[in-house]
Amino acid sequence: MHAPERLDGLRVVATPDALDHAWFEGDVVVFRIAHDEVIAFGAVVAEVPDEHAIVERETAFVGWGLSYPEFDDLVARHVEWPLPTERPALAQGMAAGLPVKLWFEHDRVLLVVSSGFAHEVVERFRLPAFAESVKKQDTRRMRA
């Protein structure tokens, strides 16, 4: 299981057609959160064929990468609505009372929340708050 990683990217609001044909540089994960809005995690540069498109840096989210057994064990039982079966797929909604975005890939699930909810995610889903390496460093520092 992985510690949360900060997910930086671009948020783009544009016409649905322009978003269908948008291009993002690099290794990106694109969340189509509404017909006229995407969040492209990992993107720094975007080309959107819409002269009125709004492109803004998006730095508010954190995510946990979970294997499917981990997802089933820790998260799925808190979700009270049908999960998508196709891959990849985005699902947005409430889980354990928190607004989450779930990105289903073939071999893992990315659990994304606004960073203001990160501590609640840790508490409610029993997910790790820190990377193992950070924990070890902290322990060493405390001993010294």
Contact residues: other proteins, CB under 8 A: 33-35, 37, 80-82, 91-94, 99
CA pair distance 123, 120, nearest whole angstrom: 5
Query: Least separation, in Å, of the C-beta of 67 and other proteins?
Result: 24
Q: Which is nearer to other proteins, 69 or 82 (CB)?
A: 82
CA pair distance 57, 77, nearest whole angstrom: 33
Query: Least separation, in Å, of the C-beta of 39 and other proteins?
Result: 11
Query: Least separation, in Å, of the C-beta of 84 and other proteins?
Result: 8
For 53, list phi and psi in degrees, rounded to 5.
-60, 145
Q: Which is nearer to other proteins, 92 or 137 (CB)?
A: 92
DSSP secondary structure letter of residue 88? S
- SS3 of 64, please? strand
Beta carbons of 24 and 45 less than 8 angstroms apart: yes
Q: Which is nearer to other proteins, 67 or 92 (CB)?
A: 92
